A and B are shown apart, each in its own frame.
Chain A
Amino acid sequence: MRVTRDLDAAEEAVQDAYVQALRTWARGGVPDRPGAWLTTVARRTALNAMRHRQTLETKLPLLLEPEEAEMPEPDGDTIPDDRLRLIFTCCHPALAQEAQIALTLRLVCGVATADIAQAFLVAEATMAARLTRAKKKIAAARIPYTVPSGGDLAERVDAVLTVIHLLYATGHTAHSGEDLVRDELTGRALDLARMLALLLPADREAAGLLALLLVHHARRVTRTGAHGRLLRLEEQDRSAWDRDLIAEADRLLVAALRAGPAGRFVLQAAIAALHAQAPSSAETDWPQILTLYDELLRIWPSPVVALNRAVAVSMVDGPEAALAEVEALERDGRLATYRYLPATKADLLHRLGRDAEAADAYRAALALTGNAVEQEFLAQRVRSVGR
């Protein structure tokens, strides 16, 4: 299967998928399937499952002995840490998500209100009011200052992980303005992910989120090149990736995959890790990635996940098959303002030699982005298909 350059940006932009996804998907919740041991991937057929499990376990290098990589057993009488109580309170579902993010940055990370406002491109007074309203809601409605118990915990942890991931994604790609990366947000998000994994050592999804952020962080210096130009995955100098962070992510992933069924953060991390593992873009294990996306879509039926899966489909089954899926998503309508849909469609059309339609689709994507770096990238794509 010939590896195409054109789709690299779309796949690279999977990070950005979640900024939108977190606002628009219907979340099925973290599945609880005790006894269903899923080490790595979905099962299309029993044969595939065996083959892929072996492939994934050999592809993620074990730098430590398996015993060291194991998750510690949860302590029966663990005293809940105050930071845990705080972060669960800040990320309570009764608060609007933007309030959750602001509160977490302010109360858990200690970031000044002015700095939070700047990071989210709002006036300081606006952000101050948002924080005040959230605190009033906590007091008036009596949101308890506790770590959630029992049946609620998985869902509440998922909400916290979502906030941290959204924080990272927002910093990773600014929605509008000149810069593609905002390091202060990504650094904070990574700190939070580390803290959460430390405080919830038995939580596989917390480990999965940390692994995911570590992989993205390992690759951050190569996202843009000279003059801040957006670089496609294929153009990035892989020797500049932080191999220590990738190795740390691998250790977390192997342990999480061994400890139980994979949730959506573990699966996303596994996909990112497979990209990071490939010595070159051309050697990316797309069939494995597709199988991971199959499972991710099954437990997290979001149109953004479906779009990113379509990119993997194009690499395994060809652009025609992928285009059919993208067009179905277009008709679905939920991604109407999501710039990566027309961008992905454009890449596929270009691969199929339909350059006039590709140019139209790139222009549609251009109209949907306010980010100057992405605008330049897309404008260049229009020129490159000769239109």
Chain B
Amino acid sequence: MPQYAVLIFERVAPEDLPPEVMEAHGRLPERIAALGGREVAGMALQPSETATSIRGGVVTDGPFIETKEVLAGVFVIEARDLDHALALAKLTPIADGGVEVRPLLGFEVAEAS
């Protein structure tokens, strides 16, 4: 099945996410599977203050683009088509923000040798 990235944007820092949101994140893979999709991988990012950016060789503190809604996580799903991907993405628990759904050109995880 085609793969999509779901980018999670939150105004709320990860340490301030309500417990019900955290708990719902834990249940997300099974909810996605129940709708005929699959969560292939998931990444939770530390708060944006911990980020470091490099542009043209210059290192600066903070995320690449300063926004009120901060990139909080990315996960990869398999879905039949965009409508299916959107239905799955709508399951994402969000405190204050939203998600972006983008089709992947490819996804590889290198095996540890």
Contact = CB atoms under 8 A, between A and B. Distances in A.
Interface of A: 92, 94, 140-144, 146, 148, 152
Interface residues of B, number: 10
A164 B103 CA distance: 29
B82 interface: yes
Contacts of B80: 144
B106 to A, nearest CB: 13
Contacts of B83: 143-144, 146, 148, 152
A143 B2 CA distance: 12
B96 interface: no
Contacts of B101: 141
Interface of B: 2, 80-83, 85-86, 101-103
Q: Which secondary structure dominates where chain B touches chain A?
A: mixed
Contacts of A140: 103
Nearest to A149: B83
Name the residue in B80, B83, B103 with the highest tally of chain A Cβ atoms < 10 Å from its Cβ. B83
B103 A144 contact: no
Q: Which secondary structure dominates where chain A touches chain B?
A: loop
A94 B102 CA distance: 11
Contacts of B86: 94
Nearest to B86: A94
A318 B30 CA distance: 60
A166 to B, nearest CB: 23
Contacts of B81: 142-144
A219 to B, nearest CB: 39
A316 B102 CA distance: 51
Contact of B103 (A92, A141, A146, A152): A141
B98 to A, nearest CB: 14
Contacts of B82: 92, 94, 141-144
Contacts of A146: 83
B105 to A, nearest CB: 9
Closest 4 CB pairs of A and B: A144-B81, A142-B81, A141-B82, A143-B82
A94 B80 CA distance: 16
Given A141-B82, A142-B82, 8 more contacts: A141-B101, A141-B102, A142-B81, A142-B103, A143-B83, A144-B80, A144-B82, A148-B83
7 contacts: A142-B2, A142-B82, A143-B82, A144-B80, A146-B83, A148-B83, A152-B83
Contacts of B85: 142
A94 to B, nearest CB: 6
Nearest to B84: A144
Contacts of B102: 141
Nearest to A139: B103
Contacts of A143: 81-83
Nearest to A142: B81
A152 B85 CA distance: 14
Name the residue in A94, A142, A143, A148 with the highest tally of chain B Cβ atoms < 10 Å from its Cβ. A142
B62 to A, nearest CB: 30
